[in-house]
Amino acid sequence: MVPDIPQGLYYALGAVLFTIGAIGVITRRNAIIIFMCIELMLNAVNLTFIASGNFLNSLDGVVFVFFIMAVAAAEAAVGLAIFVLIFRLKGTINVDDIHLLKG
């Protein structure tokens, strides 16, 4: 008889995905890749929500993930519009070259 998949494995998968996204945000300099890494981190958190909701027999996790998806969609629309504006203004979206606030 094979045992059930332990809860910890789902959390570990979420943690690994979140770490990959966080390291991507720290090391990459392309704004769009940083944006995609943030999406990956949001997905890792969603996975953790769904896993705990499933093991607690609750649907609140699913509702939370639904709202996170709504916020991510709004963020994608506005964030990508900002990238287009920055590209028009400076001709690059390398975050090292964008230092308007740096005095």
Partner 1 sequence: MIAVGMGFKWFIFIVMAISAIGSALMMATRKNPVHSALWLVVTFFSIAVIYVLLNATFIAVAQVMVYAGAIMMLTLFIIMLIHLEQGPSCLPVKRSFLKLIGGIITLTLLLQIIAGIRFYANVGKKGVYTPEMLASVGNTAAVGSLLYGKYAFVFEIASVLLLLGIVGAVVLARKRKDEEE
Site for partner 1 in 38-97 (CB under 8 A): 39-40, 43, 46-47, 50-63, 65-67, 69-78, 80-85, 87, 92-94
Distance linking the first and last C-alpha atoms of the chain: 66
Nearest approach, Cβ of residue 22 and partner 1 (Å): 5
Spatial distance between the Cα atoms of 2 and 13, rounded to a whole number of angstroms = 20
Q: Does 16 help bind partner 1 (rule: CB under 8 A)?
A: yes
Whether residue 18 contacts residue 45, with contact meaning beta carbons closer than 8 Å, is answered with: yes
Total number of residues binding partner 1 (CB under 8 A)? 74
Which of 4, 99, 101, 102: binder of partner 1 (CB under 8 A)?
4
Nearest to 10, CA basis, from 63, 54, 40: 54
Q: What value, to the nearest 5°, has the Cα angle with vertex 75 and ends 66 and 77?
A: 110
**Residue 45 to residue 102: CA distance in whole angstroms:** 33
Shortest spacing between CB 101 and partner 1, in angstroms: 18
Of the pair 58, 103, the CB lying nearest partner 1 is at 58
Based on the shown chain and the rule CB under 8 A, indicate whether residue 98 belongs to the binding site for partner 1.
Answer: no
